[in-house]
């Protein structure tokens, strides 16, 4: 029997997050473990008058590619992928698979080859998103693998996922609209700032943000959502940060990451676990060592670390600072095939300053 929350989720994604219209060409993609959610999304897209296109993937195929492909095969971009990035109206991503750690033993340099090759396509996608020509949303399908990573039973993890999206509420869309209104007020204040400084244990990092836009993330792209972000000036990051949560990327977990920045660039990257992978990703291309995003997590329904960035970067009272590609809609100009969100817990012993004055303390904004 279908979990009724999947139907509810599909309705929110299709009719609220990407607001499918008659005639829209919509790509649905994800691991086949999410097949029931894909079906539900297809139903809602058809109801809205759109044209759904399914792109399911099979478990283990990512590992097969990185394990056996030649350099030329890793660099290959299918012509169909170019057409889709240029022509699609909407994309829905369903994340989650059978094994979240399947790429753990893959040489990170092989992953970097694919990332570099896909960079022009990635840049084109970001540009279309920024212009409003391409609407997208990504969400997590709860799997046994993700539940294990989060140290929960599958039933507990399903409840966590659906509650984070407010799907247990009678009218989830109304709840997301309320959150959007609250965050819009915060964004108006942040847009007046010229500088932001973050202080926390083993962290003192400053940015210039004047002229960059703060973006209200209210469930229309990532889902669940709950953050506000901007893209600092590319050469402005100065100082150091220790990420209190493990940094997860491409299925790899890097523990106790400490980055030092000078003139916007990572000049030192240390970690207690997987330091080689960390530096390999930072060496993917010149832009990978610069900051692409500065954000505050505002979803206070999410309070625990799950080893899934979709949720962890939204934890109410945290910050995340991504290395790599900027988001053009915020005015960012950094180009990279990497965009790696790393999360720092600022709910204790932290102060965040805007133009030299405290604007947040211990994970709570001081702004009325």
pLDDT tens digit sequence for 71-95: 999 999 999 999 999 999 999 999 9
- Looking at residue 1, what is its pLDDT? 57
Q: Identify whether the C-beta of residue 266 lies closer than 8 Å to the C-beta of residue 241.
A: no
**How many residues would you count in the chain?**
368
Q: Percent of the chain scored above 90 by pLDDT?
A: 88
Q: Identify which of 51, 48, 41 has the alpha carbon closest to the alpha carbon of residue 84.
A: 51
Average pLDDT over residues 266-272: 97
Spans of all domains in the chain: 4-164, 178-365
E strand or H helix at 268, and its extent? Answer: strand 265-270
- Looking at residue 57, what is its pLDDT? 93
3-state secondary structure of 99: coil
> Is residue 130 very low, low, confident or very high in pLDDT (cuts 50, 70, 90)?
confident
pTM for this entry: 0.83
> Is residue 262 very low, low, confident or very high in pLDDT (cuts 50, 70, 90)?
very high
- The C-alpha angle with vertex 96 and arms to 92 and 99, in degrees rounded to 5, equals 150
**Residue with structure tokens 């959502």?**
225
The tens digit of pLDDT for each residue in 207-217 reads: 999 999 999 99
For residues 66 and 48, give the distance between their C-alpha atoms in angstroms, rounded to a whole number: 38
E strand or H helix at 75, and its extent? Answer: helix 71-75
Residue 23: DSSP 8-state:
T
Average pLDDT over residues 61-77: 96
Contact partners, residue 352, CB within 8 Å, separation at least 6: 196, 197, 198, 199, 319, 346, 358, 359, 360, 361
Handedness of CA 162, 168, 170, 172 (dihedral sign): negative
Task: Answer whether residue 247 shows pLDDT above 80.
Answer: yes
The superfamily CATH assigns to domain 4-164 is Thermophilic metalloprotease (M29) (3.40.1830.10)
Residue 165: DSSP 8-state:
T
40: left (phi over 0), alpha (psi -120 to 50) or beta: alpha
> Is residue 186 very low, low, confident or very high in pLDDT (cuts 50, 70, 90)?
very high
The tens digit of pLDDT for each residue in 30-50 reads: 999 999 999 999 999 999 999
For residues 217 and 180, give the distance between their C-alpha atoms in angstroms, rounded to a whole number: 8
For residues 18 and 271, give the distance between their C-alpha atoms in angstroms, rounded to a whole number: 38
- Looking at residue 251, what is its pLDDT? 79
């Amino acid at each position: 029997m279908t979990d009724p929350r999947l139907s509810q989720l599909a309705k929110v994604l299709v009719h609220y997050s990407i607001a499918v219209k008659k005639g829209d060409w919509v790509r649905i993609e994800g691991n086949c473990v999410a097949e029931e959610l894909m079906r539900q999304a297809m139903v809602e897209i058809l109801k809205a008058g759109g044209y759904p296109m399914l792109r399911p993937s099979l478990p283990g195929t990512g590992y097969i590619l990185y394990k056996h492909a030649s350099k030329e095969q890793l660099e290959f971009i299918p012509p169909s992928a170019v057409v889709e990035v240029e022509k699609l109206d909407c994309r829905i991503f369903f994340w989650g698979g059978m094994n979240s750690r399947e790429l753990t033993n893959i040489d990170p340099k092989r992953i970097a080859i694919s990332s570099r090759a896909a960079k022009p396509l990635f840049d084109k996608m970001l540009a279309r998103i920024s212009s409003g020509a391409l609407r997208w949303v990504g969400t997590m399908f709860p799997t046994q693998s993700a539940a294990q990573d989060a140290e929960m039973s599958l039933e507990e993890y399903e409840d966590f996922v659906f509650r984070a999206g407010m799907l247990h509420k009678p009218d989830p869309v109304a709840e997301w609209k309320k959150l959007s209104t609250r965050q819009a007020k915060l964004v108006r204040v942040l847009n007046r700032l010229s500088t932001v400084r973050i202080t926390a244990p083993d962290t003192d990092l400053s940015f210039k943000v004047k002229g960059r836009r703060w973006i209200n993330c209210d469930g229309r792209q990532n889902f669940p959502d709950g953050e506000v972000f901007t893209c600092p000036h590319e050469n402005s990051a100065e100082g150091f940060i220790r990420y209190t949560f493990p940094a997860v990327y491409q299925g790899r977990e890097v523990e106790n990451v400490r980055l030092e920045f000078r003139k916007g660039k990572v000049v030192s990257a240390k970690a207690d676990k997987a330091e080689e992978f960390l530096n390999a990703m930072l060496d993917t291309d010149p832009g990978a060592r610069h900051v692409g995003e500065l954000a505050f997590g505002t979803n206070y329904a999410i309070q625990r670390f799950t080893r899934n960035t979709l949720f962890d970067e939204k934890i109410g009272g945290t910050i995340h600072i991504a290395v790599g590609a900027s988001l053009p809609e915020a005015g960012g100009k950094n180009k990279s095939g990497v965009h790696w969100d790393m999360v720092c817990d600022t709910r204790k012993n932290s102060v965040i300053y805007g133009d030299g004055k405290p604007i947040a303390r211990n994970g709570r904004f001081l702004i009325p």
